[in-house]
Amino acid sequence: MLTQTSPVIAGKSCGIPIEATPQAKMVFNNLEAQAKSNYWAHMIVSGIKALCSGQMSVDNVFVKQQGRDMGATGNEFYVVLPGCTASMRKLANGRYKLLHMTADGSYFQKQIQGTQPGLYSITKQASSWSASFKVDGEVSDKENRFVVITDRSNDTPAGTVEKSYDYFKDNPLTTSHMLESKTGFDMHYTPGDKMVGGMVNLKQAANAASDSELHESALLLAKTMSNARNIEGVQWVSERGGSGVLTQALKILSDQNIKLDNHAVYLCNPTTRQSALVSLSIQVGLGQPRQISKNSILRPGELIGGLGFGGGFITAYHRLKKDPNYDAYKFSADVAKETTSLKSAAGTAATVGAAIGITAGGASLPAVVAFAGAVVAVGGLGKVLTEAYLPRIYYKFTGKF
């Protein structure tokens, strides 16, 4: 396990010189020269120093033991940090020697360009969103600051806000009025072509805390979260697959015993296991509203990927066991609510199936679109289906009123 003041997250450095081969030392020295003005380089330097000094365990999620296909021998390890890879060997004194190191010298510039994960300050100007990269990677030092962790996106940071805003604007931690004010909010952005988790990637949905695809973004988020721990009332809200990045970041913080006691968390339409994130958030001391998330159990990505079978019950159980503010009365109420929701979802699915002939194998999107359009005038069911299957159309339409 890691020490409570692990340098890779807290940003502190070890004073003990590292042991390294000439090649690795040259790369390390180059990064160290950039560390004073480049927070990415500073994080890498701090992490390598912590590993070499033995202050950080190689069992952490972002340090991988080499497998046979990597040519591992004895006590060698393969370290994965954002824009950097390094091989290390454990020495008899418990420290580590840096054997080989590579670093992408353009990584920081790629963050600025939005092709690598990073933190952005978001503001609304007239009718459009503006995204400004935060070169220090730190949340704005303002009480009750809102930070959204978005799903992986192939759009620009500003475009990502435009497409995801309707998913997270309605939550119990803030209001759309505050989000759209001149102070705005912060956003942790992860570029990529496919959604995190969901029904298509169930393995990632179930194992977000250790999934290697999320590692780079999660480590950057973990550092941002740790650096913000003394800011009062920061509100961390995930949006769809952002729950996977947040889950792994919380795992890193939990392993290092870092606490966020005065902060809060909320999940908007999570597509990775909600129960795992809730359990980790309790471990790091995050406060939670009465209802920890909003879900649409008619969307397979949220029902199967985010909740899993019986996920609502599991989440309630985790809160009962670990959250001192969550008592047996709240547990019973949530179990009853979950049971009612599942019955309601089953009834809605049966109604839809009967109306358009959906079989157990599912229906094509055109069929769902046709049916959703046909029942809009009916009332409740039309709203439920349109919001579930055609969210962008639904939010665009309702946003006009």
Residue-wise pLDDT for 280-297, tens only, equals 999 999 987 667 888 766
Q: Are 9 and 62 in contact (CB under 8 A)?
A: no
Residue 14 clears pLDDT 70, i.e. is over it: no
Higher pLDDT, 16 or 244: 244
Pairing of β 235-239 and β 63-65: unpaired
- Judge contact between 293 and 268, C-beta under 8 A: yes
Residue 2 within any structural domain of the chain: no
In angstroms, rounded to a whole number, what is the distance separating the alpha carbons of residues 396 and 401? 10
36-57 per-position pLDDT tens digit: 888 899 889 988 888 787 666 5
Cβ(60)–Cβ(72) below 8 Å: no
**pLDDT at 367 > cutoff 80:** no
Residue 63: which pLDDT band, with cuts at 50, 70 and 90? low
Whether 21 and 63 map to the same domain: the answer is yes
Average of pLDDT values for 380-399? 49
176 and 309 both lie in a single domain: yes
Helix/strand/coil for 119: strand
DSSP alpha helix (H) spans, 228-364: 242-255, 274-283, 300, 311-322, 328-356
Do β-strands 146-149 and 235-239 pair in parallel, antiparallel, or remain unpaired? parallel
pLDDT at 46: 86
Q: Which residue has the higher pLDDT, 56 or 385?
A: 56
Please check whether residue 234 lies inside any domain of the structure.
Answer: yes
144 and 278 belong to one structural domain:
yes
Q: Tally DSSP H helices, then E strands, for the chain.
A: 16, 12
CB 386 within 8 A of CB 298: no
For residues 29 and 42, state if they share a domain.
yes
Rounded Cα–Cα distance for residues 309 and 219 (Å) = 29
- pLDDT, tens digit, 9 for 90 and up, residues 318-332: 455 556 665 554 555
pLDDT band at 2 (very low <50, low <70, confident <90, very high): very low
* 386 in Cβ contact with 375 (< 8 Å): no
The answer on 163 and 311 residing in a single domain is: yes
For position 48, which CATH number holds? Answer: 3.30.2310.20
Q: Tell me what pLDDT residue 397 has.
A: 47
Q: Do 132 and 154 fall into the same domain?
A: yes
β-pairing, 118-125 with 128-133? antiparallel
Of 64, 86, 105, the residue at which a domain comes to its end is 105
- 126-147 average pLDDT score: 94
Domain match, 101 and 131 both = no
Q: How confident is the model at residue 18 (pLDDT cuts 50, 70, 90)?
A: confident
Q: What gap in Å lies between CA 5 and CA 153, rounded to an integer?
A: 33
Tell me if 80 sits within 8 A of 62, measured CB to CB: yes
Mean pLDDT score of the chain:
76
Beta carbons within 8 Å of 73's beta carbon, 6+ residues apart? none
Confidence of residue 95 (pLDDT cuts 50, 70, 90): confident
Does 305 score more than 70 pLDDT?
no
Decide if 145 contacts 139 (C-beta within 8 A): yes
What pTM was computed for the model? Answer: 0.74
Strands 96-103 and 84-90: antiparallel
Contact at 8 Å (CB) between 244 and 154?
Answer: no
Domain that holds residue 139: 110-325
**How many separate domains does the chain show?**
3
| pLDDT exceeds cutoff 90 at 225 | yes
